[in-house]
């Protein structure tokens, strides 16, 4: 059982930045993938990006790439989501998720492919 805890959400004005943190209770090198998703009220959960603990570049939703960046600290079992140039449409609850299914990159974006989820952290972008 993997426990995930997100932090770092809050209220930010348009154009601002936030860094979200996802701390995992354990980390598996067996192709575990860490994903970031978001969900706005009344909308489906949306893929933001993902990264594999054991190397490879992060993968992002196309419209987000360039504004958001995922990084990780294997020793701390922590994944980060740096969000820049935030806009009101980025307002959502952001979730961290973990999958040990050996996903390939084309499978990163489907929420059903992830086994463990954090409780979410709210990000509100408003002036």
| Helices of type H across the chain | none
What residue has token string 């990006």? Answer: 49
Q: How far apart are CA 115 and CA 120, in angstroms?
A: 15
pLDDT of residue 28: 62
Q: Give the pLDDT confidence of 61-90 residue by residue, as tens digits.
A: 887 878 999 999 988 999 999 999 999 999
Q: What is the pLDDT of residues 2-45, one digit of tens each?
A: 899 999 999 999 999 999 999 998 766 556 899 999 999 999 99
């Amino acid at each position: 059982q993997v426990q995930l805890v997100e932090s770092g959400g809050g209220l930010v004005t348009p154009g601002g930045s936030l860094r979200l943190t996802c701390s995992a209770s354990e980390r598996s090198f067996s192709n575990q993938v860490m994903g970031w998703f978001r969900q706005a009220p009344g909308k489906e959960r949306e893929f933001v990006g993902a990264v594999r603990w054991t190397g490879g570049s992060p993968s992002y939703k196309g419209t987000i790439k360039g504004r958001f960046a995922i990084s990780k600290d294997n020793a701390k079992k922590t994944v980060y989501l740096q969000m820049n140039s935030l806009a009101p449409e980025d307002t959502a609850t952001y979730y961290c998720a973990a999958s040990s299914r050996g996903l390939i990159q084309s499978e990163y974006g489907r929420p059903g492919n992830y086994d463990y989820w954090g409780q979410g952290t709210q990000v509100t972008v408003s002036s």
